[in-house]
């Protein structure tokens, strides 16, 4: 009998590189390292080679950028999904996709094990474990970094002792996760929530004070809830996000500094750079405000929050999340149109919006000439609207 195969969700970093010998030595398995490209990744071939050098029997690079945007990012955008009204779920969205890719690979290779490098303190372990169990309950999930109890210097010694060379080029004091939808930055000096984040933490956005004096406007076009054009030019999804992300970043927009409530009970200080995500949510909401009825908009806000929580909590593949996404998708058929955004010194402001499906009727809204609103009806309407409260108020006065 040959050794059992374990598919490893490999990032190319120190932890998942150390996992390759660790899994072999402690679990007696052969490791197939799989790198999923969800955007912003650099030199994947070099990282694949690194996995092989660390002792993986195979290294696989999976380009999933488009699938990520189409099946995960855009449905989240349709829901204006922001966890705790701030965080656009950058990592939380990529985990179910990476899980899906790992399960597909494991099934293809006849592997009964999938490993990830998440620690015990984060949300990502929850997202991987739960997603993989949803997709194939027969697969066992290993998270050795939860139990190996090694500090960073110890992990460095561990790989060095095995002749594995991980060139820690620039000493990065932060823990970073990134993809097309944004960049997450944790640890190091950020752990003191009172300390302002140092400039080195940021790579996508510049300091607002250093942004150009001249602002820049961009028109974002949506079709059925999906962004399709920038300044009238049709763009592929990944390119569109990259373009607006870079534009916002150049003007110092898109930094988030927040105290976040993790699912595992910890409050943590998180820094994000997500100019594109925040700008697109803003533009998308703007068109929704124009084309959706008041009832629908208000009801949808509740669904959006619930869905954002579920995505954060690793429930992407659950039946409830599926049903909520179906509701959101149903609301998007009329969400077409354009929003004008102005980036200027750290801000992103809506300057205008229009849609062929607009429910804005100037003759009803106007205070000028051509008014078609029925002023007489307003009087009767308000009388009946306030009637129950008036009845109550009269009774209260008598009781006093
Ligand atoms: N706090 C964020 C989240 O839970 C970011 C996590 C980043 N993950 C990482 N392994 N560095 O979604």
CATH number at residue 158: 3.40.50.620
Number of C-beta neighbours around residue 86 at 10 A: 15
How many structural domains is the chain composed of? 3
Atom of ligand 1 nearest to the CA of 268: 1
- Helices marked H in 80-203 — which ranges? 90-109, 124-135, 152-161
For residue 118, how far is its CA from the centre of ligand 1 (angstroms)? 10
Question: Which residue minimizes the CA distance to atom 1 of ligand 1?
Answer: 270
> What percentage of the chain exceeds 70 in pLDDT?
99
In a domain, 191, yes or no: yes
For residue 123, how far is its CA from the centre of ligand 1 (angstroms)? 7
For residue 340, how far is its CA from the centre of ligand 1 (angstroms)? 31
Q: Give the pLDDT of residue 290.
A: 98
SS3 of 298-311: the string is: HHHHHHHHHHHHHH
- Whether residues 47 and 159 share a domain: the answer is yes
In a domain, 224, yes or no: yes
**Ligand 1 lined by 175 (C-beta under 6 Å):** yes
> What percentage of the chain exceeds 90 in pLDDT?
94
- Whether residues 160 and 48 share a domain: the answer is yes
Give the mutation target among 16, 123, 130, 272 for probing the ligand 1 site: most ligand atoms within 8 A of CB. 123
Residue 170 has pLDDT above 80, yes or no: no
For residue 376, how far is its CA from the centre of ligand 1 (angstroms)? 56
- Whether residues 86 and 165 share a domain: the answer is yes
pLDDT tens digits for range 326-382: 999 999 999 999 999 999 999 999 999 999 999 999 999 999 999 999 999 999 999
Q: What is the DSSP string of 199-258?
A: GGG-SS---GGGS-SS-EEEEEEEETTEEEEETTEE--HHHHHHHHHHHHHHTT--EEEE
- Whether residues 106 and 247 share a domain: the answer is no
- Whether residues 267 and 346 share a domain: the answer is yes
pLDDT tier at 173, thresholds 50, 70, 90: confident
**Ligand 1 lined by 91 (C-beta under 6 Å):** yes
Q: Give the pLDDT of residue 400.
A: 84
- Whether residues 163 and 189 share a domain: the answer is no
pLDDT tier at 168, thresholds 50, 70, 90: low
- Whether residues 162 and 184 share a domain: the answer is no
Residue 80 has pLDDT above 60, yes or no: yes
Q: Which domain holds residue 218?
A: 176-292+334-354
Atom of ligand 1 nearest to the CA of 312: 12
Q: Give the pLDDT of residue 268.
A: 97
Residue 171 has pLDDT above 70, yes or no: no
In a domain, 54, yes or no: yes
Residues catalogued as catalytic: 15, 95, 124, 175
Q: What is the pTM assigned to this prediction?
A: 0.97
For residue 185, how far is its CA from the centre of ligand 1 (angstroms)? 8
In a domain, 206, yes or no: yes
**C-alpha to C-alpha distance for 355 and 333, rounded to whole angstroms:** 12
pLDDT tens digits for range 118-167: 999 999 999 999 999 999 999 999 999 999 999 988 999 999 999 988 87
**Ligand 1 lined by 124 (C-beta under 6 Å):** yes
For residue 92, how far is its CA from the centre of ligand 1 (angstroms)? 7
- Whether residues 136 and 211 share a domain: the answer is no
**C-alpha to C-alpha distance for 280 and 299, rounded to whole angstroms:** 21
Question: Which residue minimizes the CA distance to atom 2 of ligand 1?
Answer: 91
Atom of ligand 1 nearest to the CA of 90: 12
- Whether residues 123 and 223 share a domain: the answer is no
**Ligand 1 lined by 94 (C-beta under 6 Å):** no
Q: Strand, coil or helix: what is 332?
A: coil
Average pLDDT value for residue range 267-289: 98
In a domain, 195, yes or no: yes
Give the mutation target among 177, 265, 310, 311 for probing the ligand 1 site: most ligand atoms within 8 A of CB. 177
In a domain, 303, yes or no: no
In a domain, 366, yes or no: no
8 A C-beta contact, residue 343 and residue 248? yes
In a domain, 305, yes or no: no
- Whether residues 102 and 187 share a domain: the answer is no
**C-alpha to C-alpha distance for 72 and 259, rounded to whole angstroms:** 25
Residue 286 has pLDDT above 80, yes or no: yes
Strands (E), the chain: 4-9, 29-37, 58-63, 113-115, 140-142, 175-179, 182-186, 216-223, 226-230, 233-234, 255-261, 267-273, 337-344, 347-354
pLDDT tens digits for range 315-331: 999 999 999 999 999 99
Question: Which residue minimizes the CA distance to atom 10 of ligand 1?
Answer: 177
CA of 147: how far to CAs of 5, 28, 120, 170, 314, in Å? 21, 17, 8, 28, 21
Residue 398 has pLDDT above 60, yes or no: yes
Give the mutation target among 81, 83, 84, 91 for probing the ligand 1 site: most ligand atoms within 8 A of CB. 91
Mean predicted lDDT score pLDDT of the chain: 96
- Whether residues 60 and 130 share a domain: the answer is yes
For residue 174, how far is its CA from the centre of ligand 1 (angstroms)? 12
**C-alpha to C-alpha distance for 346 and 281, rounded to whole angstroms:** 16
Which one of 142, 169, 196 terminates a domain?
Answer: 169
Residue 169 has pLDDT above 90, yes or no: no
Q: Give the pLDDT of residue 1.
A: 64
- Whether residues 339 and 232 share a domain: the answer is yes
Q: Give the pLDDT of residue 399.
A: 86
Average pLDDT value for residue range 97-123: 98
């Amino acid at each position: 009998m040959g050794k059992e195969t374990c598919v490893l969700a490999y990032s190319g970093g120190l932890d998942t590189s150390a996992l390759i010998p660790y899994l072999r030595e402690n679990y007696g398995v052969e490791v197939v390292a799989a790198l999923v490209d969800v955007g912003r990744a650099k030199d994947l071939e070099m990282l694949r080679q690194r996995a092989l050098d660390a002792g993986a029997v195979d290294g696989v690079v999976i380009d999933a950028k488009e699938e990520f945007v189409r099946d995960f990012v855009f449905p989240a955008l349709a829901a204006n999904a922001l966890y705790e009204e701030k965080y656009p779920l950058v990592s939380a969205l990529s985990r179910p996709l990476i899980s899906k890719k790992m399960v597909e690979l494991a099934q293809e290779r006849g592997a009964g094990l999938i490993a990830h490098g998440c620690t015990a303190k984060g949300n990502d372990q929850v997202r991987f474990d739960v997603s993989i169990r949803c997709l194939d309950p027969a697969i066992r999930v290993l998270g050795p970094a939860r139990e190996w109890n090694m500090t960073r210097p110890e992990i460095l010694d561990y790989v060095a002792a095995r002749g594995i060379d991980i060139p820690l080029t620039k000493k990065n004091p932060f823990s970073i996760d990134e993809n097309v939808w944004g960049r997450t930055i944790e640890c190091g000096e950020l752990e003191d929530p009172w300390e302002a984040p140092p400039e080195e933490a940021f790579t996508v956005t510049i300091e607002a004070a250093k942004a150009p004096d001249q602002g820049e406007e961009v028109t974002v076009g949506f079709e059925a809830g999906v962004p399709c054009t920038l300044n009238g030019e049709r763009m592929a999804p990944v390119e569109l996000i990259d373009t607006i992300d870079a534009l916002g970043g150049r003007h110092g927009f898109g930094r988030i500094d927040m105290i976040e409530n993790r699912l595992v009970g910890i409050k943590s200080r998180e820094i994000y750079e997500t100019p594109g995500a925040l700008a697109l949510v803003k533009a998308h909401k703007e068109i929704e405000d124009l084309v959706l009825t008041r009832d629908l908009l208000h009801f949808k806000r509740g669904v959006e929050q619930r869905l954002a929580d579920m995505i954060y909590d690793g429930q992407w593949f659950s039946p409830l999340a599926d049903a909520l996404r179906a509701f959101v998708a149903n609301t998007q058929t009329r969400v077409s149109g354009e929003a004008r955004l102005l980036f200027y010194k750290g801000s992103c402001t809506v300057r205008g919006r229009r849609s062929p499906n607009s429910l804005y009727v100037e003759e009803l809204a106007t205070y000028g000439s051509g008014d078609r609103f029925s002023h007489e009806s307003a009087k009767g309407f308000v009388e009946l609207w306030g009637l129950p409260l008036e009845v109550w108020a009269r009774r209260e006065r008598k009781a006093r």
